[in-house]
């Protein structure tokens, strides 16, 4: 069985014939999650570390303006979150969402999900 909905040709995931559809989906999901998580986690980790460290680096003014390091970092966090969220949504819609419907179309005789366990 093969997932019928293919991602666009310019996608970054090689279509390995030997891989099962689920492992392909898993790789794509992991890649998308990581590309969303890493920039946000870096910003958050930096802020938490700077808060926890002694000294008052976050209160340091940037170039004699009213803007401090802390405020700039939080602003960067917010912008990074909104930008990566938009990218994550679009890429998920393109690469992962089509996989939900493909096997059902390919296998019309699928049994109800209750029969496969795990959802009691």
Do the Cβ atoms of 111 and 13 come closer than 8 Å? no
- At 61, is the secondary structure helix, strand, or coil? strand
Assign 68 to helix, strand or coil. Answer: strand
* Shortest reach from residue 17's CB to another protein, in Å: 17
Query: Is the Cα dihedral 8, 13, 18, 24 positive or negative?
Result: negative
Smallest separation (angstroms) from another protein to the CB of 2: 11
| 17-51 exposure pattern, b = at least 16 Cβ within 10 A, e = fewer | eeeeeeebbeebeeebeeebeebbeebeeebeeee
Per-residue binding string, another protein, 43-72, x by CB under 8 A, is: -x--xxx-xxxx-x-xx-----xx-x-xx-
Nearer to another protein, 17 or 116 (CB): 116
Is 96 a binder of another protein (CB under 8 A)?
yes
Of 2, 22, 62, 83, the residue at the interface with another protein (CB under 8 A) is 22
- Binding test (CB under 8 A) with another protein, winner from 26, 38, 46, 83: 26
| CA 90/CA 87 separation, integer angstroms | 5
d(CA 6, CA 94): 9
Chain residues binding another protein by CB under 8 A are: 1, 21-22, 25-26, 29, 33, 36-37, 40, 44, 47-49, 51-54, 56, 58-59, 65-66, 68, 70-71, 74, 77-78, 81-82, 84-86, 88-89, 92-93, 96-97, 99-104, 106-107, 109-120
């Amino acid at each position: 069985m093969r997932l019928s909905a293919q991602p666009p040709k310019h996608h970054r995931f090689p279509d390995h014939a030997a891989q099962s559809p689920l492992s392909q989906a898993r790789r794509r999901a992991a890649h998308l999650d990581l590309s969303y998580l890493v920039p946000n986690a870096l910003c958050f980790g930096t802020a938490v570390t700077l808060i926890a460290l002694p000294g008052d680096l976050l209160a340091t003014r940037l170039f004699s303006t009213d803007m401090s390091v802390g405020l700039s970092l939080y602003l960067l966090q917010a912008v990074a979150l909104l930008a990566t969220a938009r990218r994550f949504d679009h890429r998920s819609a393109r690469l992962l969402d089509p996989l939900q419907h493909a096997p059902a179309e390919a296998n019309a005789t699928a049994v109800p999900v209750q029969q496969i366990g795990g959802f009691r």
